[in-house]
Amino acid sequence: MLYYSLNHQSPKVTFAEAAVRGQAPDKGLYFPEHIPQLPKGFIKNIRSYSKEELGFIVMKPYIGESIPDDVLKQIVAETINFDFPLVKVTDDIYSLELFHGPTLAFKDVGARFMSRCLGYFNRHAYHHTTVLVATSGDTGGAVANGFLGVDGVEVIILYPSGKVSPIQELQLTTCGQNITALEVQGNFDDCQAIVKQAFMDADLMGKLSLTSANSINVARWLPQQLYYFFAYRQWQQEHPPVICVPSGNFGNICAGLVAHLSGLPVKHFIAACNANDAVPEFLKTGNYQSKQAVATISNAMDVGNPSNFVRILELFNNELPALQNVLSSYSIDDATTAATIKNVYEQHNYMLDPHGAVAYYALNQYLNSRAHLNSPSEPVPIHREAGGGIFLETAHPVKFPDTVEEATNTKIPFPESVQYLQGKEKKSIVMPASFEAFKEWLMKR
């Protein structure tokens, strides 16, 4: 498998080269030259495979000869060595819980896979690789945990000051060792812009071996396909599910779309967004307009210009009607998000985090909109979309205690896996939202 730049001005590269570089020299995102098709009979027999076997079969075509099979099997096994339960919330809505990894967020999968790939690629290197990552919340903690102690790799995390939750901040600022946290006085888009500019700066690229751990990196983006297969492996309905994904930078749902185009049965995808509505507006109007990020209670989705949406367009040859046949998108405000957390807890005894709440509400809206109505004046469905759907619960509610506890009037138990964070003090370097300040700091290191 080779990867080409979406700017089409750079040579094709192997998976290893794409993972180490992060972005192509022409500043485009790397994209696989084709979407591999699943082996014949794979879906029919999906429940006969272990998670590890399934993961290897899905990922092997994307890796090619960059990693030996025995090493790739070990990387996959270490990446997914926790549960991905599909939990029934209502008669036709299920939650795919992706918060059972070490940092309680879906991004553990991509971060663990990428860190182990880079560790393998750097095993004989005599120089350090510097990993840059911008985070709106969960990416930073997952990357810090995944790369902690990896030889030959230094990680620098940029996060927006005051715009991540307390646990998220502790997860990315208390690691030490090869992990450094920069507290940027701006929003996520500012952090992301600094990282992107770093890869275009000749001085930095000449001095340092830089790569990105954001979902622009193929080693972080592509393994996110796996939990869509894990969801289908547990799906008991006759019809394929509608899948709703809380979406910020759009790497997660893009991975799901790749899985679908490779042969995974999915009836429809929904990108559930908060007030940052560039994609919902595009799907309505056909005009894409990046926007300044708006702060919301679902902070990990506070992205005004999602980097991975260009990959989604590539999957559908930039043809809007083809994309609209597969993908819908909703924008959900904070008041509705908080009310959804409250209502689902009271009615179904299920505790949502704000991102899962956005996805649950959007999925419910879609299923209702697809129902047959008695009459236009009586919006009571006779039956909803056959089969129902799955929403992705991408982070543990404990990461958002103020919002969730206020909505549910319930104290969230502190999971044992993160109790070690209690009492720790953050260690961060405060920095203005300025590339020049970042460059000066990085060059002096």
- DSSP characters over 263-277: T---SEEEEEE-S--
Q: What is the Cα–Cα distance from 349 to 346, expressed in whole angstroms?
A: 6
CA-wise closest residue to 313 among 347, 271, 348: 271
Q: Give the other-Cβ count within 10 Å of 313's Cβ.
A: 17
Q: What is the Cα–Cα distance from 20 to 34, expressed in whole angstroms?
A: 20
Map tokens 């350090």 to a residue.
128
Query: Among all residues, which ones are annotated catalytic?
Result: 107
Q: What is the Cα–Cα distance from 433 to 188, expressed in whole angstroms?
A: 10
Q: What is the Cα–Cα distance from 277 to 304, expressed in whole angstroms?
A: 8
Q: Give the other-Cβ count within 10 Å of 202's Cβ.
A: 7
SS3 410: coil
| Long-range contact set of residues 380-388: C-beta below 8 Å, sequence gap at least 24 | 384/92, 385/242, 385/267, 386/238, 386/239, 387/92, 387/237, 387/238, 387/239, 387/240, 387/241, 387/242, 387/267, 388/91, 388/92, 388/93, 388/94, 388/237, 388/241, 388/242
Say if residues 351 and 408 touch (Cβ distance below 8 Å). Answer: yes
CA-based radius of gyration for the chain = 21
| N residues, the chain | 445
User: What residues pair up with 87 in beta bridges, in sequence order?
Assistant: 95
- DSSP characters over 102-121: TTSBTHHHHHHHHHHHHHHH
φ/ψ of 132, rounded to 5, equals -105, 135
Structure tokens of 26? 């022409």
Structure tokens of 221? 């983006």
Q: What is the Cα–Cα distance from 386 to 370, expressed in whole angstroms?
A: 9
Say if residues 19 and 117 touch (Cβ distance below 8 Å). Answer: yes
CA-wise closest residue to 216 among 252, 182, 171, 191: 252
